[in-house]
A and B are shown apart, each in its own frame.
Chain A
Amino acid sequence: MRNRKGLITISLLVTLGVMLASCQPQVVEVEKVVISEKEVPVEIEKIVEVEKIVKEVEVKEVEVEVEKIVEVEVEKIVEVEVEVEAEPVTSYAPSGEVVIAVGIEPISLGAWRGFSETGCPGCRSVTEQLVLRNYDNGSMMPSLATSWERIDDSRVRFYLREGVNFTDGSPFNAEMAAVSINHSMSAESGGTLADYLGGEMSAEAVDEYTLDIFTADPDPMILQKMDWVSIGSGQQLLERLDTYDTEIIGTGPYMLDEWKAGESISFVGNPDWWGNSSPEGLGAVSFEKATYRFLAEDTVRAATVKAGEAHIAQYVTPDDCKDLESNSGTHCDLEASVETMFIRPDTHGASLFSDVRLRRALMHSIDRQLIVDTILGGAATVASQICNPSCAGHNPDLAPVVYDPDYAKFLIAEAQADGIDTSAEIRLVARIAVIPQIAEVMPAIQEMVNAVGFNAVVEFMDPDAFGKALVLNWKDTPEDRNLVGVHLHGNEILDWATSYRFYMSCDGILSVMCDEEAERLWEEALPLTGEARVKKMQASNLRVVDQALIGHVAHMDLAYGISDDLDWKVNLDHRILLRTMKPAR
C-alpha cells in the first residue's frame, strides 16, 4: 500500500503539478508524508555541503527551500487526487507515441555519445548520468548519484542510488558504473568525449555504492563534467561488446526499441525505471513509444510538424519558426544556445591584424545588431564575448563592440599614416553549411568590412580545406595570409577557460593569438575554484576583448517547431528529453 502511494506521488508530481497549482491547499490536510523522511534531508544536506565549497551557498539554500515547499504542496495535492479518484492509479501509465524529427542520423548508439544531443538523439532518455546540471542556475542535481562530496582538487566521491537496474537485468553499482565511465573516457570510444571535456578522467569503485571520479591534474570542474558522462550497461561492455554500437542499454525512462537505418530510432517506456517512483527522476514516462525520425532538410522537418506527422522538429529556421508560430495547431520555441559565432583574425607576423588598430577597425566595422535582426531572423543575441552569460568566466561588464564605421575608418587612416598597406586582401573564410544562414552572413560581413576601407573577399571551404586553414596554432600558420575565420563555437561546459584553451591560448590548436597578459591570467585561473577562478577568467576575457584579438558576432538561438498536442518546452541545455514531455490536455 505504502509503495503504491509512492508511485502515485511521483506520477502526479510531474503530470499534474502545474495544473493543480491552482488548487486551494488550505482545504487539504496533510495526513501522510509519502516520501521517506530520512532520505531526502540527508541528500539536501550533502548538496549544500558540496555547494558551499563552490561558494554558491545563498543560491543553493534558497533552492532547497523551494524544493521543500514544492514537495509539501505535492503531498497535499496527491491526497486530494487519491480522495477524488477512489481507484488507485498506477504511476507508470504511458500512452500513444511521440514523434520527433531530427536532422542527423547517429553513426552509433554507443552510450558515451549521449553527451551530444545531435550525436545520439534520444540516447539521454535511455542512459542516465551520475548528476544533472540545472541550466537555470548552474547547480548540480542528483540522478544516478544521490549525493556527492569533493575529496580534493582532483577527486570527487559519489554515493550511488541503490536498487537501480539496467534494462538488460544487470544491477547498477559502483563497479559497473566505473566500467562504463572508464570505457567512455578512454580512447576506445575514439577519445572524443575526453577531448570534448578537455582531459581524461577515471572512475574507481570504493564499495558497492560509492564511486570515485578522479583526474591526473587538478580539475575543479569534475562534478559539472559528469553531466556529460552517460552510464551504459557495464555488463554489455564486458560480455557483449559487439552490440555496444547498436544497442544502447541504460537505466533510464525509455529503452531502445528499434533502429531502422536511415529512417528512425524508436524507444519504448521502461516500466521499471527508478524515476517512476522518485521525484528525482525529474519527469515521467508519458508515451508508450517515442520515435526519432531523420530528415536532413530543414524545410521538410518543419513540414512534418505542420502536417501533424511529428510533434517536434529540431532546429527549424527562423522563418519556418515564425510560420509555425502563426499556423494553428503548432508553435515554435526559440531558446538561446551555447553556440557563439565568432571572428578569428590571424594576429601575428606580417598579418594586417597584428596591428591592434586594424583589429579594432575590423570589429567596429560590423553591424552585429543588423545581422542578428535581419539575416538571423532575430534568433540570436549580439555577443560581447565567446561564451554566453550562463558560463563561468562571462564578464558582465563587457558590452558588445559598438558599430562605428567612422571610428573604423579613422583607425584605418591612422594605420595607413604609419605606412601599413591597408589595401591588402583579406580572406573571410567560413566552412560550408555549419552555421545557419552562413551563406548570407558572410557577404553581409564582407560588405560591411569593405565599406570602411578594407579589401575583403569571401571564401567558403569544404571541411577538409577549412581544417587545413584553420586548425592551426599561430606558430604553424603562414605569417602574411590575412585570414579571418568566421566559425561557430559551442561552450557546452559553460566554462570560459575551455574556450580560451582551444581558441586563444598560446599553444591552443586553433589559436592564432598569444597575448602574454591574457595567458598569465588564464594560467592563474586554472587551479583555482569558485569566485577567485571566475574573477581571473573575467580579467583574462576582458584583456582579449580589449585587444580585439578575437571578435564575436552573436550567441545563436535554436528553434524547435512543436505541435500543440505536445506539452514540452525546450530547456537551455537544448536536450530533447522524453521524460520532460507529455501529451497536452
Chain B
Amino acid sequence: MTIFIIRRILQAAVVTLITLSVVFVVGRVVGDPVRIVIGIEAEETRVQEVRDQLGLNDPLTVQYWRFMTGALRGEMGTSFWTRTPTMPMVLERLPATIYLGVVTALLAFPLAILLGATAALKPHSWADRLINVTALGGVSIVEFWLALMLILVVAVQLGWFKTSGYGGVEYVVLPALTLAYKPIGRISQMARSAIIDELRKPYIKAARAKGLSEKQVVFTHALKNAAIPIITTTGDEVATILNGAMVVETVFGWPGVGLLTINALSRRDLPLVEATVFVVTGMIIMTNMLLDVAYTYLNPRIRFQ
C-alpha cells in the first residue's frame, strides 16, 4: 500500500513536470503580450522597458530555470497585469470553484444514480427510454446556451433564483444545475449498465429467492455493488466539471478559478495562466489519489490484499 502511494506520488510529480514544461513552451510561443498589457498606442521604447521589467528579454534557458525553480517553491511568478504574485490570486479563487463543484456533485450523483437505477428496474420500458433520452440530452446540450436560457427564464421571468453572482442557495442552484446536467447524463447511463450487470449475478438470484421486491433488490443489493464502477468514472467527471466551470463561471459571474482562467487567457497574462494550470493539475492529481484510496477502501478484494 505504501509503495503504491509512493509510486502514485512519483507519477504525479512527473506529470506535473511535463504539464509545467508544456505550459512554459506554450507561453513562449504566444505572441507578444506586452502590447496588450500597456496598450496599443504605447511607444516602442516603453514596450522594451516593460519587456525588460517582465524578464521577457532573458534567454529562454534562464526563463525556464526561473520558471521551474519557482514552481517548486510554489511561486509561479507575478502577473503581467496586476504585478502581484499569481499563486495567491489562484488559491483565493479555489474555494468558489470547489463550492460550486461540490454542489454540482451533490446534485448530480444522487439524481444520476436514482435515474440510472430506475431505468435499470425495467430495461427497455418507457421510463427507461425517457431517462435515456434525458441523459443523452445532458451530454448533447450547449452549456452556455443552457446557462443563458436558465438565467432569462428561471431567474428573470420566474424569479426563482438570482441571475448571477456568488452566494448561498439562491445563487448556486442555477450554475450548479447547468454544470450538473452533463455528469447526470453520463453517470446515469453508467449506473444503469452497472446495475444491469450486477442483476445478472447469482447473489441477486438469492435475494430474489428470499422474496425481496425488485425495488429492494435494485436499490439495496445491486446498487451497493454497482457503486465501484461508478466511482471509478468520478475522476473523469472532475475534469468535466472543471471544463464546464470555465464557461459557466463566465456566464454567471461566479468568482472561481474557471473565470480567472478565461480572464487570464484573454488578457494573455501568461504567469497567471501558468499558475491556474498548475493549480488545476494539482487539484486533479489530488482528487484522483483520493479516489484511488476510496476505491481501495470500497473494494474488499483490494483492501485485504
| Chain A residues with a Cβ under 8 A of chain B | 105, 107-108, 187, 190-192, 195-196, 245, 260-264, 293-297, 299-300, 303-304, 306-307, 309, 462-465, 467-468, 470-471, 502, 509-510
Instruction: Please tell me if B81 contacts chain A, counting CB pairs below 8 Å.
Output: yes
Q: Is B151 an interface residue (CB 8 A)?
A: yes
- Assuming the contacts A107-B81, A297-B250, A510-B41, asked whether A263 and B255 have C-beta atoms less than 8 A apart, the reply is yes
A and B contact pairs by CB, cutoff 8 A, 23 listed: A107-B81, A107-B82, A108-B81, A108-B83, A195-B39, A195-B42, A245-B83, A260-B255, A261-B255, A263-B255, A300-B164, A300-B252, A300-B253, A303-B156, A304-B163, A304-B164, A307-B155, A307-B159, A307-B162, A309-B165, A463-B36, A464-B32, A465-B31
Contact B93 A464 (CB under 8 A): no
Q: Please name the residue on chain B nearest to A262 by beta carbon.
A: B255
Contacts of B58 in A (CB 8 A): none
CA A502 to CA B40, docked complex, whole Å: 11
CB distance from A463 to the nearest CB of B (A): 5
With contact pairs A300-B251, A463-B268 given, residues A262 and B256 touching in the complex (Cβ less than 8 Å) = yes
Establish whether residues B250 and A296, one from each chain, have CB atoms under 8 Å apart when the complex forms: yes
Closest CB of chain A to B183's CB: distance in Å?
A: 23
Within the complex, the shortest CB–CB distance from A265 to chain B, in Å, comes to: 12
**Which chain B residue shows the least CB distance to A297?**
B251
Does B136 interact with chain A (Cβ within 8 Å)?
no
Is A300 in contact with B31, judged by CB distance below 8 angstroms?
A: no
> In the complex, which residues of chain B have a beta carbon less than 8 angstroms from the beta carbon of A464?
30-33, 35-36, 268
Question: Which of chain A's residues have a CB closer than 8 A to the CB of B255?
Answer: 260-263
Whether a CB of chain A sits under 8 angstroms from the CB of B148 is yes
Task: Point out the residues of chain A lying under 8 angstroms from B268, CB to CB.
Answer: 463-464
Q: How many A-B residue pairs have CB under 8 A?
A: 116
Size band of the interface chain B makes with A: 35 or more
Q: Residues of B contacting A187 with CB < 8 Å?
A: 46, 49
B-chain residues with CB within 8 Å of residue A470 when the two chains form the complex: 40
With most chain B CB atoms within 10 A of its CB, the pick from A296, A462, A502 is: A296
**Of the candidates A191, A296, A299, A463, which one forms a contact with B38 in the assembled complex, judged by CB atoms under 8 Å apart?**
A191
Partner of B42, one of A191, A245, A260: A191
Collect the chain A residues with CB atoms within 8 Å of residue B253's CB. 263, 293-297, 300
**B 29-62 binary contact with A (CB < 8 Å = 1; else 0):** 0111101111111111010011000000000000
| Pair B148/A463 contact, Cβ less than 8 Å | no
In-complex Cβ contact of B259 among A262, A304, A306 (8 A): A262
Q: How far is the CA of A191 from the CA of B34 in the complex (A)?
A: 13
Given known contacts A192-B39, A307-B163, what 15 new A-B pairs fall within 8 Å (CB)?
A105-B263, A190-B50, A195-B42, A260-B166, A261-B255, A262-B96, A295-B164, A297-B250, A297-B251, A299-B148, A299-B151, A309-B162, A464-B32, A467-B32, A510-B41
B98 interface residue per 8 A CB criterion: no
A264 to B259 alpha-carbon distance, docked (Å): 13
B263 closest partner in A (C-beta): A105
Q: Is residue B152 contacting chain A, with contact meaning CB distance below 8 A?
A: yes
In the complex, the answer to whether B164 meets A303 with C-beta atoms within 8 Å is: yes
**Contact yes or no, A303 B46, CB < 8 A:** no
Q: Smallest Cβ distance from A573 to chain B, in angstroms? A: 20
Is B163 in contact with A293, judged by CB distance below 8 angstroms? no
Q: Mark B90-116, 1 if CB is under 8 A from A, else 0.
A: 001100100000000000000000000
Which 4 residue pairs across A and B have the least CB separation, nearest first? A262-B255, A464-B31, A263-B255, A107-B81
* Contact present for A261 and B155 (CB under 8 Å): no
With A262-B256, A263-B253, A297-B250: A303-B155 Cβ-Cβ less than 8 Å = yes
Min CB distance, B264 to chain A, in Å? 11
Q: Which of B43, B162, B252 contacts A195 (CB 8 A)?
A: B43
Q: Does B241 contact A (CB under 8 A)?
A: no
CA distance A195 to B31 in the complex (A): 23
B10-37 to A contact mask, C-beta < 8 Å, 1/0? 0000000000000000000011110111
How far, in Å, is B51 (CB) from chain A's closest CB? 13
- CB neighbours (8 Å) of B217 from chain A are none
B84 adjacent to chain A (CB < 8 Å): yes
Is B260 close to A, CB under 8 A? yes
Give the nearest-CB partner of A190 in chain B: B38
Q: Which of A107, A191, A303, A510 contacts B152 (CB 8 A)?
A: A303
B173 within 8 Å of A by Cβ?
Answer: no
- Determine whether B289 belongs to the interface, using a CB cutoff of 8 Å to chain A: no
Judge whether A192 and B38 touch: CB under 8 Å: yes
A527 to B96, CA, bound (A): 55
Complex CA gap A517/B29 in Å reads: 44
Q: Is the CB of B93 within 8 A of A261?
A: yes
Residue B68 CB within 8 A of the other chain: no
CB contacts (< 8 Å) of B96 on chain A: these are 262
Which residues of B sit under 8 angstroms from A303, Cβ to Cβ?
151-152, 155-156, 163-164
Question: What residue in chain B is nearest A327 (Cβ atoms)?
Answer: B156
Q: Which residue of B lies closest to A246 (CB)?
A: B84
* A105 closest partner in B (C-beta): B263
Residue numbers in B under 8 Å from A192 (CB-CB): 38-39, 42
Distance to closest chain A CB from B27 (angstroms): 13
| Contact status of A502 and B41, CB under 8 A, knowing A307-B156, A465-B31 | yes
Q: Is B284 an interface residue (CB 8 A)?
A: no
Q: List residues of B (202-254) whose CB comes within 8 Å of A's CBs.
A: 250-254
Chain A residues near B298: list those with CB within 8 A: none
Complex alpha-carbon distance, A299 and B153, angstroms: 12
Known: A463-B35, A464-B31. A195 touches B163 (CB 8 A): no
Let me know if B89 is at the binding interface, CB within 8 A: yes
Whole-angstrom distance from the CB of A512 to the nearest CB of chain B? Answer: 14
Which residues on the B side are within 8 Å of A510 (C-beta)? 40-41
**Measured between C-beta atoms, what is the minimum distance from A23 to chain B in Å?**
40
Of A108, A262, A296, A306, which one neighbours B156 at CB under 8 angstroms? A306
Q: Quick check: B148 and A300 within 8 Å, CB to CB?
A: yes
| Cα–Cα, bound, A263→B249 (Å) | 11
In the complex, A245→B41 CA distance in Å?
A: 23
Most A C-beta atoms less than 10 A away, residue of B38, B163, B259: B163
For A463, what are the chain B residues with a Cβ–Cβ distance below 8 Å?
35-36, 268
Complex CA gap A293/B252 in Å reads: 11
Q: Contacts of A108 on B, CB cut-off 8 Å? A: 81-83
Q: Which residues of B242-294 have CB atoms within 8 Å of chain A's CB atoms? A: 250-256, 259-260, 263, 267-268
Residues in chain B near residue A502, CB distance under 8 A: 41
**Interchain CB contact under 8 A, B152 and A299:** yes
Bound CA–CA A108/B251 (angstroms): 23
Whole-angstrom CA separation of A297 from B253 in the bound complex: 8
Choose among B43, B89, B93, B163 the residue that contacts A509 (Cβ–Cβ < 8 A).
Answer: B43
Question: In whole Å, how far is B53's beta carbon from the nearest beta carbon of chain A?
Answer: 9
> Assuming A195-B42, A245-B83, A261-B93, is B36 touching A297 (CB within 8 A)?
no
The smallest beta-carbon distance between B40 and chain A, in angstroms, is 5
What is the chain A residue whose CB lies nearest that of B167?
A263
Given contacts A295-B164, A463-B35, A463-B268, contact A262 B93 (CB under 8 A): yes
**A198, closest chain B residue (CB):** B41
Chain A residues within 8 Å of B41, by CB: 195-196, 471, 502, 509-510
| Cβ contacts under 8 Å, A264 to chain B | 165
**Chain A residues positioned under 8 Å from B251 (CB to CB):** 297, 300
Q: Which of B33, B159, B165 contacts A293 (CB 8 A)?
A: B165
Give chain A residues whose Cβ lies under 8 Å from the Cβ of B162. 307, 309
